[in-house]
């Protein structure tokens, strides 16, 4: 992980990758309020549990996002990295896709441009791609 000095405080860690997980996905709603735990929260918990043994846990943090606006394709995750393509994946099974997500994140991390060819992605991430977004700059 890269460390950079912040002008107002002590050194700050700069993370160049993130695995974003929609925590609102697969929610059950009643009268405008979410009931119980969402599918996204369950997937997030599975990912966090598996990531305890993941070699990239410090370099590729898992971050929860309130909503990724892909509600018809829950559960949804995204891989993003500085200077890389960003991928948005949906239609992920809550109970069985976490290990595939981390495996694919490892592939993404290893590629300088982040390109994840269909043939190289784990099965659950082959058909659920919602977007491939070019790097910002």
* Residue 59, both tokens: 């370099």
Q: Can you give the pLDDT at residue 1?
A: 43
Tens digits of pLDDT across the chain (137 residues): 433 333 443 344 456 999 999 998 877 777 877 777 888 999 999 999 999 999 999 999 999 999 999 988 989 999 999 999 999 999 999 999 999 999 999 999 999 999 999 999 999 999 889 999 999 86
Q: Write out pLDDT tens, residues 12-32.
A: 445 699 999 999 887 777 787
Domains of the chain, by residue range, sit at 2-133
Structure tokens at 53: 């043994």
Residues 117 and 110: their CA atoms lie apart, in Å, by 13
Q: Are 56 and 104 in contact (CB under 8 A)?
A: no
Pick the CATH number of 2-133 from 3.40.50.12780, 3.40.718.10, 3.40.50.300, 3.40.30.10: 3.40.30.10
Q: Which residues contact 125 (CB under 8 A, 6 or more apart)?
A: 89, 92, 97, 100, 101, 104, 116
Q: Whose structure tokens read 């695995």?
A: 19
Q: What is the pLDDT of residues 85-97, one digit of tens each?
A: 999 999 999 999 9
Residues 101 and 115: their CA atoms lie apart, in Å, by 15
CB contact set of 52 (below 8 Å; sequence gap of 6+): none
Quick one: pLDDT at residue 110?
A: 96
């Amino acid at each position: 992980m890269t460390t950079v000095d912040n002008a107002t405080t002590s050194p700050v860690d700069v993370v160049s990758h993130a695995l974003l997980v929609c925590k609102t996905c697969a929610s059950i709603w009643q009268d405008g309020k979410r009931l119980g735990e969402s599918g996204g929260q369950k997937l997030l918990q599975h990912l966090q549990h598996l990531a305890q043994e993941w070699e990239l846990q410090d370099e590729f943090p898992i971050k929860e996002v309130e909503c990724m606006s892909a509600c018809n394709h829950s559960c949804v995750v995204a891989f993003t990295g500085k200077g890389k393509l960003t991928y948005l994946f949906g239609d992920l099974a809550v109970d069985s896709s976490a290990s595939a997500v981390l495996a694919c994140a490892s592939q993404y991390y290893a590629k300088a441009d982040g390109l994840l060819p269909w043939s190289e992605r784990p099965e659950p991430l082959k058909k659920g791609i919602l977007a491939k977004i070019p790097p910002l700059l």
